[in-house]
Chain A
Amino acid sequence: MANRTNYKQIGEDLWKGRTEKINAELFAFTYGALVVQLIQDYEDCGEVNRQLERMGYSIGTRLIEDFLARSNLGRCNDFREVGEVVSKIGFKSFLNITPSITHTAALPPPPGAAAPAPSQTRPGAGASFVLTLEENPLAEFVEMPEEAVDGGLWWSNVLCGVLRGALEMVQMQVEAVFLSDVLRGDESTEIRVTLKRYLEEEVPAGED
């Protein structure tokens, strides 16, 4: 589709236009040292996962402004387009990787269910996409010890937080979780992003 090639080209142009780049290994060293410190402090992989996600959420809320300012893209028409922009332009312009993407449309509501509330009738809620990261700059030189694998640590969980934070700032409440990770011995590294609902334009509650 013509749109798809455009995204790839936009992503490439954005990356080439970046003049300030650093070695990916440096980024991996820093992130790695940070995760190790968190594991030492919390001693609980589940908690570390939560902290990484929370940190990613804060980063995502800042990152999206940077991204929108640079890329000058308009609103996405549907969640499918969101996925394309995220994988081909978002990841490309910050991490210089282009994860491959698999879309899943929203499931129709089961027959006989009660009429959904107005905020849920927007088409697309429940849609999801899965990003498959062939390369992961956060995981360079990383080998997870048995305790971390058994404890359920997702090394790159910060990415899930970034996705959640960034998309929330553009009025989408999503859930991003890791499905598999080569660091844990799985075949591939996959993140699933599911749209929960579209957010109304209002002051977000709870943060203050």
Chain B
Amino acid sequence: MANRASLTPSLQAPTVTSTSTPSTTSLLTPALLSLSSPPQAQVDIHALEYLLIEASRTLADSARVAQARRDKAEAEMRGAGWLPTQGGKEETGGARALSKLKEPLRDEVERARRARAEEEEEVAVRLRLENIGLHVGGNLAEKLCRDRTRFADPLDSVKFLCKEIWPAIWDKQVDNLRTNHRGVYVLQDAAFRPLVRLSSPFGSAEAAKRAKLHLAFPCGVIRGALARLGLHGTVTAEVTTLPQCTFQIKIPKNT
């Protein structure tokens, strides 16, 4: 009987002919397979969008608190003599010198100091948003790659980022991907979702400048996703004209 089955060509699935343990893959029907992966819960995309919009303000406040705590700890250590006090001397000397300056000059120095403090705050918020993006990008990449073979080429990883990770978060693929095949990739999005409804009463140039903060999270997502896939590099973002933006990824060759 075994011989006859193997000689006749037929479109039926081959019957088990040997006496060794039969494979059980035939027991895995599609219905059973779908039971093994849990149903994907979904939420409205706007929930995430509102969360990220408010997150930048919340993180700015928390960054300020964290910085104040660090400054206080530093000041205490200086007071207790654990840190050199040169910095402190400079500050008090500066304050005395400041009071001797004339009004307009003093205002300028104050303005410069405030601008620098604002810059530091913005850097702190960007860092936090990027960290959140790192976390999200990495976990998302891991989830979406679950049943795939490993990517042979860094270009494949970047294409995966553009075609699968982007839609998972922003509901569309990246519009344009360019590479110089030497580790530099440029992603262009003509209507990037977080930027689509942004505007500023101070004009489009000002809006483009302020929009950069909203690109911190996406930069983190890109960096996190690629890192989880084994590629470590740097990501920078530019806003040309709202809502267009570009992301430049640099992956050094030795990874």
A58 touches B61 (CB 8 A): no
Chain B window 24-53, contacts with chain A (Cβ cutoff 8 Å), 1 for yes, 0 for no: 000000000000000011111111101111
A20 touches B171 (CB 8 A): yes
Which of B40, B54, B132 has a CB less than 8 Å from the CB of A58?
A: B54
Which residues 39-93 of B sit at the A interface, judged by CB distance below 8 A? 40-48, 50-55, 57-59, 61-63, 65-66, 69
Chain B window 132-175, contacts with chain A (Cβ cutoff 8 Å), 1 for yes, 0 for no: 10011001100100000000000000000000000011010000
Which of A40, A43, A95 has a CB less than 8 Å from the CB of B47?
A: A95
Q: Does B248 contact A (CB under 8 A)?
A: no
CB-CB under 8 A from A42, the residues of chain B are: 62, 65-66
Instruction: Decide: A37 near B43, CB < 8 A? Known: A22-B48, A22-B169, A30-B132.
Output: no
Interface-located stretch among A59-67, A124-132, A174-182, A199-207: A59-67
B127 and chain A: residue at smallest CB distance: A37
A27 touches B48 (CB 8 A): yes
A20 to B44 alpha-carbon distance, docked (Å): 6
Which residues 8-49 of A sit at the B interface, judged by CB distance below 8 A? 18, 20-27, 29-34, 37-38, 40-43
A42 to B67 alpha-carbon distance, docked (Å): 10
> What's the tally of chain B residues with a CB closer than 8 Å to chain A?
35
A34 touches B51 (CB 8 A): yes
The interface size bin for chain A is 35 or more
Q: Does B128 contact A (CB under 8 A)?
A: yes
Q: Does B131 contact A (CB under 8 A)?
A: yes
Chain A window 86-97, contacts with chain B (Cβ cutoff 8 Å), 1 for yes, 0 for no: 000000011110
B128 and chain A: residue at smallest CB distance: A37
Instruction: Decide: A22 near B50, CB < 8 A? Known: A29-B139, A33-B136.
Output: no
Which of A20, A137, A158 has a CB less than 8 Å from the CB of B45?
A: A20
Which of A29, A34, A94, A140 has a CB less than 8 Å from the CB of B140?
A: A29
A20 to B45 alpha-carbon distance, docked (Å): 6
CB-CB under 8 A from A29, the residues of chain B are: 135-136, 139-140
A62 and chain B: residue at smallest CB distance: B50
Q: Does A54 contact B (CB under 8 A)?
A: yes
CB-CB under 8 A from B135, the residues of chain A are: 29, 32-33
CB-CB under 8 A from B168, the residues of chain A are: 22-23, 26
B58 touches A21 (CB 8 A): no
CB-CB under 8 A from A54, the residues of chain B are: 58
B43 touches A66 (CB 8 A): no
A124 to B62 alpha-carbon distance, docked (Å): 38
Q: In the complex, which of the residues B43, B57, B65, B69 has the most CB atoms of chain A within 10 Å of its own CB atom?
A: B43
B136 touches A58 (CB 8 A): no
A51 to B168 alpha-carbon distance, docked (Å): 28
Q: Does A55 contact B (CB under 8 A)?
A: yes
A21 touches B45 (CB 8 A): yes
A37 and chain B: residue at smallest CB distance: B128
A96 touches B62 (CB 8 A): no
B131 touches A59 (CB 8 A): no
Q: How distant is A163 from chain B, measured CB to nearest CB, in Å?
A: 14
CB-CB under 8 A from B59, the residues of chain A are: 34, 37-38, 41
B144 and chain A: residue at smallest CB distance: A23
A66 to B54 alpha-carbon distance, docked (Å): 16
A interface with B by C-beta (< 8 Å): 18, 20-27, 29-34, 37-38, 40-43, 51, 54-55, 58-59, 62-63, 66, 93-96, 135, 137, 140, 158
Q: List 9 A-B contacts (CB under 8 A).
A: A22-B45, A25-B139, A38-B58, A38-B59, A41-B63, A51-B58, A94-B44, A96-B44, A158-B51
Q: Closest 9 interchain pairs by CB? A: A41-B62, A24-B41, A41-B66, A33-B132, A33-B135, A20-B45, A21-B42, A55-B58, A59-B50
B interface with A by C-beta (< 8 Å): 40-48, 50-55, 57-59, 61-63, 65-66, 69, 128, 131-132, 135-136, 139-140, 143, 168-169, 171
Known: A20-B45, A27-B48, A34-B55. 12 other contacts (CB 8 A): A22-B45, A23-B40, A23-B41, A24-B40, A24-B41, A32-B135, A37-B59, A41-B66, A51-B61, A51-B62, A62-B53, A63-B50
